[in-house]
Amino acid sequence: MPGTRPAETGTVVRVSSGAIALLVLGLGLVAWLSARAKAQAFAGPGKARLHSLPGYHGWYVALWAVIPALLFLAVWSSVSGGLVTASVLDSPAAASLPAEPMQRGAILDEARALADGTQEAAFNPQATALAPEYESAQSRMAIIGTVAALLLAFAGGAFAFTRVSPNFRARTRVERLVMALLLVASLIAILTTLGIVLSLLFESLRFFSRVSPIEFLFGTSWSPQTAIRADQAGSSGAFGAIPLFWGTIFIGAIIAMIVAIPLGLMSAIYLTQYATPRVRSWMKPLLEILAGVPTVVYGYFAALTVAPAIRDFGLTLGIPSSSESALAAGLVMGIMIIPFVSSMADDSIAAVPQAMRDGSLAMGATTSETIKRVLVPAALPGVVGGVLLAVSRAIGETMIVVMAAGLAANLTANPFESVTTVTTQIVQLLTGDQEFDSAKTLAAFALGLVLFIVTLLLNIVALRVVKKYREAYE
């Protein structure tokens, strides 16, 4: 909000960029109304026929008024801070500042806080001396910014306003701009993904400069604790990720799928082939609720309910069991994945043409023979695609394994024992106070990169399989 406060150096103007933006938008509204009115004046009985509706002219002028000004504001707000500091440093009061950058920075920060009013008194007298400089520089910059933004808004609006005429193709231009906006929206998602990949890649490269990729990918010992002090004992760190990969596959791709594939497939078959429409109409949404349960809820269900039961069961069988077992995490993850498998299978079975079903039934096949011999084979590629997507989802799943799978990097095929997964270890490596330049924390990025690549490949393969299969019936 604009406000003034008398100070030693004269009137201080504080304008937040939000307020300027509101002002610019207000100007935009004025531009819209006046341009529309101008366009409407052209039209009417006996007058020229407008190329575009008056509203489009309004939008055209309003966008010209608003967009350049807002773009300027965005740029200005990022550079004005630097300009303020530069001008303060140029002032005579700044000549006495210490040359050492850290102290200098501290004093400047304090002066800025005084100027902003967030701090009442300064610890350093030099800061008190600089505060008025800051205030005046800030107010200068604020005035420049405000005036420039408003000028731009006026100029843009006026330029566009002069172009409003019956033959002006405002509609085409506005629509082109809308298209550009849509493009930007889609680019943002893509660029973000790219940024994530690059950050993963660079951090991973830093990791691989300390630990060789061969050791990371093929080593069988995982113990990421590195010594903080050189004289600490026994913790040089070992970064062989095989136990993690194994744990991830064991839980996500083996145990979870042993649960999810048969249950998901069978429920899809029941729902598409046997259930009456009424049963289907309440069972299918109910099944899909499973997909909506937050994974953390599954996590404590696994850790508090399933894991102890499985440990007791294992112990009665005389198998060495721990309270955090691969089986518990895998079973619960399998349950979580059922809706994925079942809805993909449901879709692909439903996509098999009714003519196939009729053809088989007309041969005297029973419903179950039809399912076994015609529907499932025909729907198989879609089902496989669904399963691959489910696997990729399962190996990236974090909460359940963090809570139920344990931390010990065991290389074991005994489902009653504790194993750990890639996602669990990433959480472990990055929680707590960590320096972000040790091999220990950097390992998290390498693990993330591997996980990313694997799930990406799985998704690509799965989508291809599904797509190819869809084409077969179209």
Which of 258, 380 has the CB closer to another protein? 380
Part of the chain binding another protein (CB under 8 A), chosen from 125-133, 263-271, 297-305, 368-376: 368-376
Near another protein by CB under 8 A, which window of 77-85, 119-127, 250-258, 374-382?
374-382
Could you give the angle at the alpha carbon of 306 between the alpha carbons of 305 and 310, nearest 5°? 125
The residue from 90, 109, 116, 369 that contacts another protein (CB under 8 A) is: 369
368 touching another protein, by CB under 8 A: no
378 is a contact residue toward another protein (CB under 8 A): yes
Per-residue string for binding with another protein, 455-474, x by CB under 8 A? -----------------x--
| Pair type for strands 10-14 and 222-223 | unpaired
Residue type, 254: I
Q: Name which position in 365, 407, 411, 430 contacts another protein (CB under 8 A).
A: 365
Q: How far apart are CA 126 and CA 133, in angstroms?
A: 11
Torsion of CA 70, 74, 79, 80, to 10 degrees: 60
29 to 68: interface string for another protein, x by CB under 8 A: ----------------------------------------
The answer to whether residue 384 forms part of the interface with another protein (CB under 8 A) is no
DSSP 4: E
Minimum separation from the CB atom of position 366 to another protein (A): 6
Nearer to another protein, 148 or 356 (CB): 356
How would you classify the pairing of strands 238-239 and 3-7? Answer: unpaired
Give the residue, chosen from 6, 234, 277, 294, that forms a contact with another protein under the rule CB under 8 A: 277
Cα angle, residue 129 at apex, residues 128 and 132 outer, rounded to 5°? 90
Task: State which of residues 10, 44, 308, 377 lies at the interface with another protein (CB under 8 A).
Answer: 377
Amino acid in the structure at residue 72: F
Q: How far is the CB of 374 from another protein (least distance, A)?
A: 5
Burial code (b: 16+ CB inside 10 Å, e: under 16) for 426-439 equals bbebeeeeeeeebb
Give the 3-state secondary structure of residue 473. coil
Q: Which is nearer to another protein, 312 or 358 (CB)?
A: 358
The 8-class DSSP code of residue 47 comes to: S
According to CB under 8 A, which residues from 322 to 361 bind another protein? 353, 355-361
Instruction: Examine residue 276 and tell whether it contacts another protein (CB under 8 A).
Output: yes
Distances (CA, A) of 416 to 61, 242, 268, 309, 424: 69, 19, 30, 11, 18
Nearer to another protein, 146 or 370 (CB): 370
AA identity, residue 168: F
242 binds another protein (CB under 8 A): no
H runs (alpha helix) in 117-169: 125-163
374 lines the binding site for another protein (CB under 8 A): yes
CA nearest 416: which of 314, 302, 303, 304?
314
Given the rule CB under 8 A, which residues bind another protein?
A: 276-277, 353, 355-366, 369, 373-374, 377-378, 472
